[in-house]
Chains A and B, each alone.
Chain A
Amino acid sequence: MKRTNPPSVEPANPVREISGSESAEESQGSASPEEFSAQSTEPQSAAIQAEVTEKHAAAAPTAVAAEIVIPPILLEGDEPAHPTGAVSPENPATQVETNSTPELPESYGTGRLLLAARDPECVYAHWDLNRQERQKAEDSGGGALSLRIHQDSLSGPVVSEEQFPIGRSHSFVSVAAASGPIVAQLGYYSPEGLWTPVASSDTVEHAAAPAPQPGVVEFATLEFPLTGTSTPGASPAMDQLIANPLTAEAAPAHSSTKPGTEITTALAPEFPLVRTAPAAPELPAEAFADPVVFEADLEEAQLPLPGPGETRPIVETPWTPDREQMLSQLITRSVLRHKRIGSAEFDALLKAESNWAGLLPSAEVSSHAGPQPAAAPGFWLNINAEVVVYGATEPDSVLRIAGQTLPLGPDGSFSFRFALPDGSYSLPVEAVSKHGDVRRAELQFHRGTRYSGQVGVHPQNPRLSVPGSGNPLQA
C-alpha cells in the first residue's frame, strides 16, 4: 500500500538500492514498541507562528491607541512566507484520539519461539519468555541467550548461531548459508558449556530463490470453464483446468521440446497432465540455420489475430540456442540497466555470457546474482564461498575493519560478509573505546580450490568485496 507515500520513493521499484542507513538499522539492537503517543504532533510553520504571535500581540495590553491590524497574509508576497516544506506535508498530523488507549501486552507468556523468513539472507525470530524463564536463563546461562538456526530439522547442521542479552526478545538473524527448510532453537549455555534448550520454532521455508535448473522444458494447456462462472466454494478438479489428461511416455531429456510431441509428466502427484508442444509450421530446413531467413519466414507465417472466442495454439518453431542467447542478452541488459551498477561491472557481466537467472531482485543483488556459466550438457556443479566476520564490543566504541570505520549495532555487535575467492587474505580488525583503549585482531584467510569436471562459479553478490579491500556488506 502506498497511500501515504508518493512513488518518487519507488515503493515498488526493484531497482532501488539499499542505503547505508537502511542496512544499519537492521542491527542487533532491541527495539521494544515505542510508547503510544496520545498527542498528535503538528509541525510548526512560520504561518502558524505568525498566527500565534498575532494573537499574543492582540491580547497584550497596550497604552498606545489601537492600530489597524493588517492580516499577515496581505503582507506576504506571492511566495510563501516559509521555505518549501517548512510545514512538512510528508508527515501530516495524524488525528489520533487524545484519550489514553490501552497498550498491547508486552508478552503473552507462551514461552514460544516464532520464526519467519524475511528474505534469502535473513529470518526474523521472536521469543515470548515469561519472567520465570528469563530468570532461569539469567541464573544458569550467564546472562545470555543463544539462538541456533538449523538446516531442515533440529538434528540438522547449525547454519547460524547468535547470542543476545536476556532482555532481548527478537532479532533478525543471518541465514545466508541456509537453503530449504530451517528451524530455530533458543537456549543458553551453562558455565560448563552445556546447551539447554528453552524453545523451538516451527519449521519454515527459507525464502531463498532456488537457482533455476536447466533441463526439460514442458508445456501445458489451460482450459477455462465454458460458462465463465462457477459456484463459490466449489473447487474445480485440476483436470478441468488443464486440458485432456492422458498417459503417455515421458519427455525426452533435452532442453527443447520437439514440436508435435505429446509428453506426460505429473506436475503434482495427484494431477496427471498432458503437455503438448504445438506442431511447427512447414519451414525449409535452412530456415533454422539462418536467423535472417527465420525472421522473414516468421513474418510470412504470422497468423492473423484470433477472433473473439477463438483459440489458437501458438505456432512454434524450434527454440534454438541462438534465440535463447539473444533473449538472454536482451533480458540481462534490461535487468542490468535497472541495477545502476558501474560500467566495468556491466561489461564484465555481459562478457561472462551471463543469462539472467538469479540476477534479480535488481535493487539489491542477491547472493545468487552474477554471471552464470552457460548450462553445459550433462551433470554440473557450481560452487562459491563467502566468509562472515562477526563479534561485539562496547556499543560506544569505534570499530575499524581493514582501516574502514564500520557501524556497530545498538548493543555493540557487528557482522559483515566478504567474498572469498581463491587466494590469501589478511583482515585487520580494531576496536577503540571512547577512552582511547585499543584492541586488535588480525584474521588470516586462505582459499584454494581444486576442480574436477564441469564446475562453475556460483553467482555471488557483486557488491561483496574480498577481505581487506572495499566496503564489507553487513550480514
Chain B
Amino acid sequence: MNPLALLFLIAGLGLIGWLTGRARALRIDRGGAKRLHSLPSQHGWYVATWAVLPALLFVAVWASLSPSLVRDAVLEHPAAAQLPQFEFERDALLAEAKRVAEHPDDARAFDPVAQQLAAPTRAAETRYNWMGGAIAILLAFSCGLFAWSRVRAQLKARNQVERIVMTLLLVASLIAILTTLGIFLSLLWESLRFFEQVPITDFLFGTHWSPQVIEASNPGKSLGAVPLFWGTFFIGAVIAMLVAIPFGLMSAIYLTQYAAPRVRAWMKPTLEMLAGVPTVVYGYFAALTVAPAVRDLAVMLGMPFASSESALAAGLVMGVMIIPFVSSMADDSIAAVPTAMRDGSLAMGATHSETISRVLLPAALPGVVAGVLLAVSRAIGETMIVVMAASGAANITLNPFESATTVTKQIVDLLTGEAEFDSPKTLAAFALGLTLFVITLLLNIVALRVVKKYREAYE
C-alpha cells in the first residue's frame, strides 16, 4: 500500500472519529438528562486522537522494521544463494533489485542475480506493505471504536485530550536533547572504535597526515591530525578573522555612530545578505575567481610555484562571509553601552572617534570578544568554502600563499570516497568530527559566559 494513501486513510478515519464522537456527545447533550463534562468538539478530539495516535505509532515502528523483513524474505529465495558473501557487494545488489522492483517500466538490472531477485523483492515488499497497512487500519478502527463507545456525559474528554497534548509538547522539546545526545554518542562511539585501531596520542599529536596511504600495521603513523588543526586555525581563526574583524567592527561602528538613518536602513540589510548567500556559492566564487587572482599575486611577488589552492583564497572569502556576523554582534554590544557614557565623553570635548575608541569600544569589549569567539567557531566549522577552494595537502605552514587543509575538508574527503564503514580511514572522519564538535562547543560556552557576565555589569 502506498504510504501516502495509508496516511490519508488514517487521517480520514480520524476525521470520521471526530465527527462521530462529536455527534454522539451532542446527542447525549440534547437528551438533556445529564450535563456534559466537556464540550462536544472535545469529545470529537478524544475519539480522533484514539483513532490516529496508536495507528501512527504502529506505522512508524513498522516502517523501520519492514526493510529488514523484506531483506530476510528476499535472502530466503533460492536465487539469493548466488549472491556474493561480502556484505558491501551483497547490499549493493539487493539495492539494485529493489530499484528494478520499484520501477519495472524503465529500469533494468545490470546484474543477472539482481534481475532474478527483482520479482521476489517486489512480492515481499507488496506483502509486507499490505500487511502493515491492514494492521494499521484495523488498529485505527478498533481504537477509534473503543473511544467512541466510551463517550458519555461524565467522560473528562477535555482533561484527557489536554494531557495528551501536554505529553506531545514535552516529547517535542525532548527531541532537542535527543539530537544533542545522538550527535555526541554517535561521534563518541565511532571515535572509540577509531581509537581502538589508532592510539589517541598518534592522532592528536602526530604531524603526518596522509590517509591515502595507510599502513595496515601502523595506521597511526599516517593519521596525525596536527597539520589539520593548524590549517583549520590558520584559515579560520587567523586569515578569516584578519578580514572579518576590522571590516565587521568598522562597518558596525560606521553604521551605528555615523551613518544617516537612510543609509543605515539600506546598508544593514545589504551587509546581512552576505550572510544569506549559500556557502557553496562562496566556495565556487573562491575557486573560480579569488584563487586564481591570489595565485597571480603570489607569482608577481616572486613565488613562481604558488598553489592555486592557497590558504589565503579560502580564508579571504571565509572572512567576507563572517563580516555580517561580527558586525551584528559588535552592533549589539555597542548599543548596550549606556548613552550616558557616550554623552559624557562628547561633553568633555572628545571627538566622535575618540569617544568610540576610548569609551565605547573598551566598554563593549567583552561583547565584541564574545562575538569574535562565536565567529571563530563558525569559521572553523565552515565546510564548503574549504572543500572547494582549499587543498587536500596537509602542510604546516605560515605562508598564506601555500596550501593548507582543514578538519572539515578532510571529513568530506574521507567520507565521500568508496570505502567500507569500518576502515580507520572512515572512522578517522568521526574522530575529526568529535574534535570539531568539542572545540566549537567550548568556544560557544566561553562566548556565552562572557556575554552573560558583561550584561550583569551594566544592568
Note whether A and B form a binding pair: no
Q: Which residues of A contact B (CB under 8 A)?
A: none
